[in-house]
Amino acid sequence: MSTSETNVPVDSATHFQLRLFVAGDEVNSVQARRNLRKVCDELIPGRYTIEEIDVLRDPSAALKERILVTPSLIIKTDDSDSRLLVFGNLNDTTRLKDILNGKR
């Protein structure tokens, strides 16, 4: 996929609202939690909030956001209405980094 045409530079002040849907302390959820914080501290330090939702405790929140599986990460910026979804334990951070860098 070409990145140049869709490249909308992310303002260095852009704030990211991250909502991570997990399933308790299941292996992939724990990994996703750890990987997400690491990437955020590296790329957008101080410009993010992470809200963590345990679907085992609060299934309705998942249904409301039409979350199918965990771990799922919803990424929103305060300057856009669109939301982006990332799935899995985030061991592969390529796509997450692209999004945070504003390449997608």
Partner 1 sequence: MANDDTHTVSYEQLPLRELMSRLAERDDLVEALRKHEVDAVVGDKSIAVVRLLEVERELQARTVELQNQNEELRKTRETLERQAGELERVNTELEAFTYSISHDLRNPLNHILLFVELLKSKSLPKLDEREQQYVGHLDTASKRLQQLLASTLKLFRISKASVGDSRVDLSELARRISEEMTAADPQRARRFEIAPGLAARGDEYLLQQLLQNLLANADKYSADSSPAIIEVGAEEPRDGYRVFYVRDNGIGFDPQKAEELFVPFVRLNQKKNADGTGIGLSVVQRIVHRHHGEVWAEGRPEEGATFYFRLPVPSDD
Of residues 29-68, those binding partner 1 (CB under 8 A): 29, 55-56, 59, 62-63, 67-68
Going 24 to 28 to 34 to 40, the CA torsion angle's sign is negative
State the Cα–Cα distance between residues 98 and 3, nearest whole angstrom: 9
Tokens of 88: 């899995």
State the Cα–Cα distance between residues 50 and 96, nearest whole angstrom: 14
Asked if 95 touches partner 1 (CB under 8 A), the answer is yes
Asked if 85 touches partner 1 (CB under 8 A), the answer is yes
Applying CB under 8 A, which of residues 28, 39, 47, 52 lies at the interface with partner 1?
Answer: 28
Which residues have a Cβ under 8 Å from the Cβ of 52 and sit 6 or more positions away?
A: 19, 20, 22, 33
Asked if 6 touches partner 1 (CB under 8 A), the answer is yes
Q: Which is nearer to partner 1, 48 or 70 (CB)?
A: 70
Asked if 27 touches partner 1 (CB under 8 A), the answer is yes
Tokens 């405790």 belong to residue: 57
Binding residues for partner 1 (CB under 8 A): 1, 6, 23-24, 26-29, 55-56, 59, 62-63, 67-71, 82, 84-89, 91, 95, 104
